[in-house]
A and B are shown apart, each in its own frame.
Chain A
Amino acid sequence: MTTLAKKKKHNWNIVVNIILIVLVIIWSIPIIGLLISSVRPQDDVLNTGWWRIFAGEGNFTLNNYRRVLGGSQSTFTDAAGNVLRASGDNLSQAFINSFTVTIPAVIIPILIAAAAAFGFAWMIFPGRKIFFTIVVALLVVPLQIALIPILRDYMKLGLTGSYLGIWLAHTGFGLPLGIYLLYNYISTIPRDVFESAFLDGARPMVVFARLVLPLSVPAIASLGIFQFLWVWNDLLVALVFLGGTSDVAVLTQRLANMVGSRGQDWHLLTAGAFVVMVVPVLVFFALQRYFVQGLMAGSVKG
Chain B
Amino acid sequence: MTTTEISGEKRGFLATALIAIGRVAVSLFVPIVAFVVLWAGFIFLRDSNAPQGIIAAVAIVWGVGGVALLFWVTDWVVNRTSVTVAKKLQPFVFVGPALAILAWYLFIPTLRSLYLSFFDAQSNNFVGLANYIFAFTDSKMIESFTNNLLWLILGTGGAVGFGLLIALLADRVKMEKFFKSIIFMPMAISFVGAGVIWRFIYAYKPAGEDQIGLLNAVVTFFGGEPQAWFTMPVWNNVFLIAILVWLQTGYAMVIISSALKGVPSSIIEAGRIDGAGELRIIRSIIIPYIASTLVTVSTTIIIITLKIFDIVFTMTNGNYGTEVIASMQYKQMFRFYHYGRGSAIAIVLVLAVIPVMWYNLRQFSKREGF
Interface residues of B in 319-370 (CB under 8 A from A): 326, 329-330, 333-334, 339, 342-343, 345-347, 349-350, 353, 356-357, 360-361, 363-365, 369-370
Q: Which of B152-160, B194-202, B233-241 contacts the other chain?
A: B194-202
Chain A min CB distance to B138 (Å): 18
Taking the complex as formed, is A53 at the interface, i.e. its CB lies under 8 A from any CB of chain B?
no
Question: Which A residues lie within 8 Å of B85 (CB)?
Answer: none
Given known contacts A123-B3, A138-B102, A277-B190, A108 and B63 CB-to-CB distance under 8 angstroms: yes
Interface residues of B in 240-271 (CB under 8 A from A): 246, 249, 251, 254-255, 258
Instruction: Decide: A34 and B197 in contact? CB cutoff 8 A.
Output: yes
Q: Which of B129-137, B140-148, B176-184, B280-288 contacts the other chain?
A: B176-184
Given known contacts A20-B169, A116-B98, A148 and B91 CB-to-CB distance under 8 angstroms: no
Given known contacts A134-B107, A204-B1, A259-B199, A148 and B255 CB-to-CB distance under 8 angstroms: no
Instruction: Decide: B192 and A252 in contact? CB cutoff 8 A.
Output: yes
Instruction: Decide: A46 and B212 in contact? CB cutoff 8 A.
Output: yes
Interchain CB contact (< 8 A) of A302 among B3, B53, B307: B307
Taking the complex as formed, is A19 at the interface, i.e. its CB lies under 8 A from any CB of chain B?
yes
Instruction: Decide: B188 and A281 in contact? CB cutoff 8 A.
Output: yes
Given known contacts A119-B91, A145-B109, A280-B188, A104 and B64 CB-to-CB distance under 8 angstroms: yes
Taking the complex as formed, is B313 at the interface, i.e. its CB lies under 8 A from any CB of chain A?
yes
Taking the complex as formed, is B71 at the interface, i.e. its CB lies under 8 A from any CB of chain A?
yes
How many A residues touch the partner, as a band? 35 or more
Instruction: Decide: A148 and B67 in contact? CB cutoff 8 A.
Output: no
Which chain A residue lies CB-closest to B210? A48
Which chain A residue lies CB-closest to B98? A116
Taking the complex as formed, is B164 at the interface, i.e. its CB lies under 8 A from any CB of chain A?
no
Interface residues of B in 96-152 (CB under 8 A from A): 97-99, 101-102, 104-110, 112-113, 116
What would be 13 A-B contacts, judged by CB atoms less than 8 Å apart? A28-B185, A51-B214, A120-B95, A123-B90, A133-B365, A142-B303, A142-B346, A168-B35, A172-B106, A233-B193, A252-B193, A276-B193, A281-B185
B residues touching A (Cβ–Cβ < 8 Å)? Answer: 1-5, 23, 35, 38-39, 42, 46, 52-53, 55-56, 59-60, 63-64, 67-68, 71-72, 75, 79, 88, 90-95, 97-99, 101-102, 104-110, 112-113, 116, 162, 166, 169-170, 172-173, 175, 179, 181-201, 203, 210-212, 214, 217, 246, 249, 251, 254-255, 258, 278, 296-297, 299-300, 303-304, 306-307, 309-310, 313-314, 326, 329-330, 333-334, 339, 342-343, 345-347, 349-350, 353, 356-357, 360-361, 363-365, 369-370
A residues touching B (Cβ–Cβ < 8 Å)? Answer: 12-13, 16-17, 19-20, 23-24, 27-31, 33-34, 37, 45-51, 93, 96-97, 99-100, 103-104, 107-108, 111-113, 115-116, 118-120, 122-125, 128-129, 131-151, 153, 157, 159, 162-164, 167-169, 171-173, 175-176, 179, 187, 198, 203-205, 207-208, 229, 232-236, 239-240, 252, 255-256, 259, 263, 266, 269-270, 272-273, 276-277, 280-281, 283-285, 288, 292, 295-296, 299-302
Known: A104-B63, A233-B193, A277-B190. 20 other contacts (CB 8 A): A12-B278, A17-B175, A24-B183, A45-B212, A46-B212, A51-B214, A107-B64, A138-B102, A140-B303, A140-B356, A142-B326, A142-B346, A146-B109, A148-B112, A205-B75, A235-B192, A266-B203, A269-B196, A269-B199, A285-B185
